[in-house]
Structure 1
Amino acid sequence: MRFARIGEPGAEVPAVSADGKTWLDLRPLAQDVTGELVAASAGLDLAELPGLPVGPGTRFGPPLGRIGKIVCIGLNYRDHAAETGAEPPPEPVVFMKAPDTVVGPDDEVLVPRGSTKTDYEVELAVVIGRTARYLDSPAAAAGHIAGYAISNDVSEREFQIERGGQWDKGKNCETFNPFGPWIATADEVGDPQALGLRLSVNGESRQDGSTKNMIFDVAHVVWYLSQFMTLYPGDVINTGTPAGVAMGKPDPKPYLRPGDVVELEIDGLGRQRQTFGAA
């Protein structure tokens, strides 16, 4: 099952689809898409829900209505660590993004003022559906995952790496987390370590990887994070990006500029397309 929020910014309608083609209005059952709702999808009766018109030009907003926190994992693909010259980390590298960075999957993304190193990162996003604290093992993580979606973990590398302090300055610029178009439930996705991820810029392929190359798999990441923070329904985890980011390319590195078009996809989770503009 897939959950989305369809409509203009601030007026999105919660929607559900059993087949990925026909979208139904969820409002008779729920006022918004939440982590708890996605986790309880098996108990939803869709028989009487009205349809929603979806066609060319229909906007999909961020598919989760109330995002708690966004926890991100850095350097989590072997090939990405190699391209940046970093050793694979012995434990997950953790940083945060603010929920107000989130925009829809096809919304405009803004290159920050003074930026010369805005970068792209296609990532598998995990949506938490049940509170997780001090999980006993990675095997326990599956019972706390509601579903999966696409995130573009947009980053400004100078702000992130060259301006001192932690990574947060390069990760929390306005519009720096396109999310969606939908959340696919965990049972629909099946094995999260068998998904292809792809990203192109202006039609040129830049990233083409697989979640099988994660250093720390999804279950390990959820278990690990639960040892340091409580994960609540509606929290999102961005699980890292494969090789091909601009930072890892030879000089002159192809960082993003206003007017660039970025397209990304993950198997079974749809596509995103963003035009970058100037802040």
Structure 2
Amino acid sequence: MLCRFHRILRGDRLKAILGASSFTRNFRPSSGLDMRLVQFVEEGGVFPRVGVELSEGGDVVDLSACDITFPREMTGFLRGGAELLESAKTAAVSGKNIVKRDGIKIQAPVTRPDKVLCVGQNYKDHCEEQGAPIPTEPVIFSKFSSCIIGPGDDILYPDVSDAIDWEVELVIVIGKAGKNIKESEAMDHVIGYTVGHDVSARDWQLQKNAGQWLLGKTMDTFCPIGPVLVTKDELPDPHKLGIRCRVNGQTMQNSNTDQLIFKTETLVSFISRFVTLVPGDIILTGTPPGVGVFRKPNPIYLKRGDVVECEIDGIGTLTNKIV
């Protein structure tokens, strides 16, 4: 029998030998695996580690210090499935290998996902805001994973645009691979949620490039996520969470995830009809009303020096500065 160390580090080879179903069949965790997972680097360090945040904004248990076989980045950790989740929970309650918050830098909880998928027009009140009909099926687009940044990282104001807008979003994180997933089984493939900021260049999204959204959505640093990955067991109902965005302390968006048109199960099932979802994939689920482009009487856009806070109850606050 292979030890856990070899199962993780040689996962791709094992997948080829055993087949995808064998590789992912043990993901479904038992109940009680409520955790706040983070990626972090020590002060002055370079290489990330995976940890468990003991409370919102609090100290962190360093999982790699608990067991050298723990992967040091989140996508590798998620590929480990239920066994690693259970080991992480044991480490989190042990009271050992705790690092102080002021001695580390929290990174994006997932930094190298295979896919960054996004959903447009997915809040009822956001559709009403722009006078758009309620979609009958999810509107899917994407960003490049290279535009992901973490909490506290700067959002770079691009020279090619003067219409940069904010969008706070609930982000689904995939923990188990799957294709053609049934809605009734979709949550078995979800590890949890984080906060996302779908930074958008409205001129390139809506007026240029023949109406294709990609360039307006995926410029460098246009996908802040974090600060933590909250496991699904930690959130009683992800579709009843307050969600808001502040710019320089002023509330611009203030809604609730109960306004989502297509919820987690529907989105995971729908997307998996077209592409295979794998551990670490993220799905930005859409934004509520209050974005700058639809402000009256005139649009309001971000400028250099602005500080944007994206907050979701039960998860945390993601803060970034425009530079």
Q: Identify the TM-score tier after normalising by the shorter chain.
A: over 0.9
Matches within 5 A, 1:167-246: 167-246=213-292
Identity of aligned residues (%): 37
User: Residues of 1 paired with 2:223 and 2:257: CA distance?
Assistant: 19
User: Residues of 2 paired with 1:169 and 1:119: CA distance?
Assistant: 14
1:116 maps to what in 2? 162
**Contact 1:26–1:49, Cα closer than 8 Å, also in 2:** no
2:48 aligned with 1:12, yes or no? yes
**Shift in Å, 1:154:** 0.4
**Shift in Å, 1:181:** 0.6
2:189 aligned with 1:144, yes or no? yes
TM-score for the superposition, normalised by structure 2: 0.81
Matches within 5 A, 1:239-258: 239-258=285-304
User: Secondary structure, in 3 states, of the residue corresponding to 1:173?
Assistant: coil
User: Residues of 2 paired with 1:48 and 1:149: CA distance?
Assistant: 25
1:41 maps to what in 2? 85
User: Residues of 1 paired with 2:259 and 2:304: CA distance?
Assistant: 32
User: Secondary structure, in 3 states, of the residue corresponding to 2:193?
Assistant: strand
User: Secondary structure, in 3 states, of the residue corresponding to 1:79?
Assistant: helix
2:37 maps to what in 1? 3
Bigger relative contact order (CA 8 A; separation at least 6): 1
User: Residues of 2 paired with 1:201 and 1:65: CA distance?
Assistant: 25
Matches within 5 A, 1:261-272: 261-272=307-318
User: Secondary structure, in 3 states, of the residue corresponding to 2:269?
Assistant: helix
User: Secondary structure, in 3 states, of the residue corresponding to 2:322?
Assistant: strand
User: Residues of 2 paired with 1:206 and 1:128: CA distance?
Assistant: 29
Which amino acid counterpart does residue 51 of structure 1 have in structure 2?
I
User: Residues of 1 paired with 2:46 and 2:141: CA distance?
Assistant: 28
**Shift in Å, 1:49:** 4.8
**Contact 1:84–1:247, Cα closer than 8 Å, also in 2:** no
User: Residues of 2 paired with 1:135 and 1:206: CA distance?
Assistant: 36
**Contact 2:74–2:280, Cα closer than 8 Å, also in 1:** no
**Do the aligned partners of residues 273 and 18 (structure 1) sit closer, same or farther apart at CA in structure 2, a change above 3 Å counting?**
closer
2:59 aligned with 1:22, yes or no? yes
Structure with higher Rg: it is 2
**Contact 2:177–2:277, Cα closer than 8 Å, also in 1:** yes
2:41 aligned with 1:31, yes or no? no
Instruction: Indicate the larger mover: 32-41 or 204-213.
Output: 32-41
User: Secondary structure, in 3 states, of the residue corresponding to 1:182?
Assistant: strand
User: Residues of 1 paired with 2:80 and 2:165: CA distance?
Assistant: 33
User: Residues of 2 paired with 1:38 and 1:166: CA distance?
Assistant: 37
What is the RMSD computed on CA atoms of the aligned residues?
1.8
**Contact 2:143–2:218, Cα closer than 8 Å, also in 1:** yes
**Contact 2:81–2:176, Cα closer than 8 Å, also in 1:** no
1:84 pairs with 130, 143, 157, which one? 130
Deviations 1:219-267 (CA, angstroms, capped at 9, x unpaired): 1111111111111111000000000000121132111011111112101
User: Residues of 2 paired with 1:49 and 1:130: CA distance?
Assistant: 29
1:134 maps to what in 2? 180
Which amino acid counterpart does residue 101 of structure 2 have in structure 1?
V
User: Residues of 2 paired with 1:170 and 1:37: CA distance?
Assistant: 35
Matches within 5 A, 1:71-110: 71-110=117-156
2:100 maps to what in 1? 53
TM-score for the superposition, normalised by structure 1: 0.93
User: How many residues align structurally?
Assistant: 275
Return 5+ residue gaps in structure 2 as ranges: 1-34
**Shift in Å, 1:152:** 0.3
Instruction: Indicate the larger mover: 19-28 or 221-230.
Output: 19-28
**Contact 2:173–2:283, Cα closer than 8 Å, also in 1:** yes
1:154 maps to what in 2? 199
User: Residues of 1 paired with 2:270 and 2:185: CA distance?
Assistant: 11
Instruction: Indicate the larger mover: 121-130 or 65-74.
Output: 65-74
Return 5+ residue gaps in structure 1 as ranges: none
User: Secondary structure, in 3 states, of the residue corresponding to 2:266?
Assistant: helix
